[in-house]
Amino acid sequence: MQSGSAARVRLRGRELINFSSNDYLSLAGDLRLARAAARAARRFGCGAGASPLVSGYSPPVRALERALAEWEGCEAALVFGSGYAANLAVVGSLVGAGDAVFSDALNHASLIDGCRLSRAAIHVYRHNDLDQLADLLRVEGSRARRRLIVSDTVFSMDGDFARLSGLVELADRFGCLLLIDEAHATGVLGERGRGLAESMSPGSWSPRRPFKVGTLSKALGAQGGFVCGSRRSIDWLVNRARPYIFSTALAPPIAAAARAAVAIVQTEPERRNRVLALAERLRRELQAFGGNVGASCCQIVPLIVGGAHEAVALSRRLEEAGFLVPAIRPPSVPEGSARLRISITAGHSESDILHLTTTLRDCKASFV
């Protein structure tokens, strides 16, 4: 096993400080997860063997769903093989032909694909532009049978937040469903690590907001996706969602590892506090010499460089200096906003951050 830290990675024979991992709480290499997985593998096998409705629904998956529901403060949770599958499932079961979805321009590909597969009419609004969203809801929404707003809560290339209370307000005003995807926020944000929504409305699930999506594959250090909601809405999903019905259930060892992670997230808040404090430190250091970190307010910190060529050159220089920091170029981000995407984990030390910022300051002529 790797040294148990998300913060180091071997690449082309060298060890680099890894600023590219979504293992935000450094749990993927945690021995408690490994032990839980090994126990489950011995007892239940490595694979689920079938889809959940046939015979793949194992005791570790059931235990995980209960633990997730309890943690999230909702009636029920449903586990999928990936967050990607969870999004396809939820969007496709909420809307169909004759309906309309309203989607933030920077939403994750899995939400975009979910919208496309659903056959609902798709209306994309400029990132976080709630005035444009209101206009679209007024004009386009009136023709639709059902209306659904979909949004990430933390955007993966900028580390900024959705304007959640504004989305809730619009959903109420226009009689819309609202689906939020907390993939980058699960385990990191909120008093108990439930995500951005927790900071807004602790534990409340209204019928207008039937589902919330999270992932087990990032901060929770395992793999899979999950959906939380009312008992009724989860039952609806079980009977309707093709990505649930026609795909093999989550493997028992992974379910057991994820459940161990859910327990750790609740008992070790210091992990998320540390990640957020390190990210804040990084932003301050970068801004001190004129670095543009955009609207980042969490563990994902972009350093916006501008040209694609400059971003790639900077990423190479960092690799020579011992850091893995990916360059993100168009079309993943808008033209002229190529960047380094720095992602902070609980496994980083303060000196990792300072070492990185000193190196970047030395190259600042190329991007400030």
Ligand X SMILES: *Cc1c(COP(=O)(O)O)cnc(C)c1O
- Is residue 323 part of the contact set for ligand X (CB under 6 A)? no
The three-state secondary structure class of 51 is coil
- Rounded to a whole number of angstroms, the minimum distance from the CB of residue 154 to ligand X is 7
Per DSSP, the chain holds a count of helices (H) and strands (E) of 13, 13
- Is residue 103 part of the contact set for ligand X (CB under 6 A)? no
- Which residue number, 58 or 87, has a Cβ lying nearer to ligand X? 87
User: What letter does residue 122 receive in the DSSP assignment?
Assistant: E
- Is residue 211 part of the contact set for ligand X (CB under 6 A)? no
- Is residue 243 part of the contact set for ligand X (CB under 6 A)? no
Q: Which residue is nearest to ligand X (CB)?
A: 83
Contacts 24+ apart (CB under 8 A), 4-9: 4/29, 4/30, 4/31, 5/29, 5/347, 6/345, 6/346, 6/347, 7/345, 7/347, 7/348, 7/349, 7/352, 8/347, 9/324
- Which residue number, 21 or 82, has a Cβ lying nearer to ligand X? 82
Helix extents (H) in the chain = 31-44, 59-72, 83-94, 109-118, 130-139, 164-173, 196-200, 231-240, 242-245, 252-267, 269-288, 308-320, 350-362
Question: Going residue by residue from 13 to 52, which x/- string records binding to ligand X, judged by CB under 6 A?
Answer: ----------------------------------------
- Rounded to a whole number of angstroms, the minimum distance from the CB of residue 361 to ligand X is 30
- Is residue 285 part of the contact set for ligand X (CB under 6 A)? no
CA–CA separation, 137 and 122 (whole Å):
11
Angle (CA) 191 83 159, round 5°: 55
Stretch that binds ligand X, among 5-13, 81-89, 234-242, 245-253 (CB under 6 A): 81-89
Return the residue of 29, 56, 60, 83 that touches ligand X, per CB under 6 A: 83
**Token pair of 354, please?**
């300072």
CA–CA separation, 110 and 213 (whole Å):
11
Return the residue of 181, 198, 285, 352 that touches ligand X, per CB under 6 A: 181
- Is residue 341 part of the contact set for ligand X (CB under 6 A)? no
Return the residue of 65, 72, 104, 152 that touches ligand X, per CB under 6 A: 152
**Token pair of 289, please?**
């010499």
CA–CA separation, 66 and 345 (whole Å):
27
Stretch that binds ligand X, among 2-10, 39-47, 179-187, 346-354 (CB under 6 A): 179-187
- Is residue 302 part of the contact set for ligand X (CB under 6 A)? no
Stretch that binds ligand X, among 28-36, 80-88, 200-208, 237-245 (CB under 6 A): 80-88
C-beta neighbour count of 36 within 10 angstroms: 23
Residue 218 is among the residues annotated as catalytic for this protein: yes
Stretch that binds ligand X, among 43-51, 78-86, 94-102, 322-330 (CB under 6 A): 78-86
- Is residue 151 part of the contact set for ligand X (CB under 6 A)? no
Is 196 within 8 Å of 188 (Cβ atoms)?
no
- Which residue number, 184 or 339, has a Cβ lying nearer to ligand X? 184
- Is residue 110 part of the contact set for ligand X (CB under 6 A)? yes
Give the CB-side neighbour count of residue 354, counting CA atoms within 13 A.
3
Return the residue of 19, 44, 84, 226 that touches ligand X, per CB under 6 A: 84
Q: How many residues bind ligand X (CB under 6 A)?
A: 14
- Pairing between β-strand 300-306 and β-strand 76-80 as defined by DSSP bridges: unpaired
The residue annotated as part of the active site, out of 218, 247, 296, 348, is 218
Stretch that binds ligand X, among 52-60, 176-184, 286-294, 311-319 (CB under 6 A): 176-184
- Which residue number, 222 or 276, has a Cβ lying nearer to ligand X? 222
The three-state secondary structure class of 35 is helix
Q: What are phi and psi of 194, to 5 degrees?
A: -75, -20
Return the residue of 21, 128, 217, 315 that touches ligand X, per CB under 6 A: 217
CA–CA separation, 339 and 109 (whole Å):
19
**Residues with catalytic annotation?**
156, 184, 218
**Sites of contact with ligand X (CB under 6 A):** 82-84, 87, 108, 110, 152, 156, 181, 183-184, 215, 217, 225
